[in-house]
Amino acid sequence: MKNLIKKLVETTSPSGYEDKIRNVIVDEIKPYADDFRIDAMGNLIVRKGSKQPEGMSIMLAAHMDEIGIIITHIDENGFLRFTSVGGVFPTHCIASRVEFLSGETGVIYHDAMESREKLPPLNKMYIDIGATSKETCSVKVGDMAVFQRPFVDLGDRLVSKAMDDRIGVAIQIEVLKQITNTPHEIFFVFSVQEEVGTRGATTAAYGIDPELGIAVDITSSGDMPKCARMAMKLGSGPAIKVKDSGMISDPRVVKSLVKTAEDGKIPYQLEVLEAGSTDARAMQVVRSGIPVSCVSIATRYVHSPSEMIDYNDALNAVKLLVNYLSNPIQLSL
């Protein structure tokens, strides 16, 4: 999967501008899909299988957008003020490079500070693209950019911007490729605008009206020095979400995923995330409600230009979901 992951994470597609990454995904899924369509929001909805008497209608969702910035003002010297699109934090910005959708590169820096000990907020930062005046500045108000950082293969550990959630996208593509027989009608949704409010998954779930929903996303890790206390660790297997700040997983879905992992001798973790949520939050409350959970990949340095995952966790997430979706699913306590 490494070549696929590299291709996905290095594609520039912030929230609302997912065309480039969607085109990459379409090229990957075409040979394996029964059919696919792009809805009005821009979600890519890929169908595989037909519902058998013992099967269900199932929606998987991995968001294809990434966090970014948008230009709000250009001064007379060509310096660009900006605000965030999704969860962009000042800690990750200073001296970072960004790439605009046009291909332009800029450097983020900050106004003069009274103290180096205090981090400036985003509204005290600017982007320098090398322009000498407002007139020579090729970037305009409303233009968007993402962090510019290449994919790095460290063996078992992979590092890049946009692992959130291109690793989920890669997992869904690989699951689609590997499933050869299923009693379910499965909708693989590559959703838009998750980073700004799970908007794409909301409309996709309403249109599909599935009987079961599973998000495929990242989660924070608790295995760094002096970090927040979390049970999540890189390399300990995919996480089966129990709860996050936006939803509580249906315990029947959690139980069925755990059983699949244990039956297949697949390593797994149980996830409780205190801050943050996924497309599962949106799916859960669509129409009359949908039982949901999420399969997560533990990630270090979330929403930074250098998000780190363990490759084996991704491979085991594929195995878990292939096993889960290839057999009838019993939702019972």
Sequence-distant (6+) residues with CB within 8 A of 252 are 291, 331, 332, 333
> How far are the Cα atoms of 90, 136, 278 from residue 275, in angstroms, in the given order?
18, 42, 11
Task: Give the torsion through C-alpha atoms of 192, 195, 199, 205, to 10 deg.
Answer: 70
Number of neighbours of residue 73 by Cβ within 10 angstroms: 11
Closest CA to 161 of 93, 228, 251: 93
Q: Tell me which of 99, 194, 271, 307 is the catalytic residue.
A: 194
Per the CB < 8 A criterion, the answer to whether 209 and 198 are in contact is no
- The C-alpha torsion from 305 through 87 and 141 to 138, rounded to 10°, is 0
Order across the sheet with 307-310: list the strands: 152-153, 157-160, 307-310
Catalytic residue status for 194: yes
* H or E element, residue 223: none
Contacts of 304 (CB under 8 A, 6+ apart): 89, 91, 92, 161
User: Where does residue 245 fall: left (phi above 0), alpha (psi -120 to 50 degrees), or beta otherwise?
Assistant: alpha
Catalytically active residues, by annotation? 194
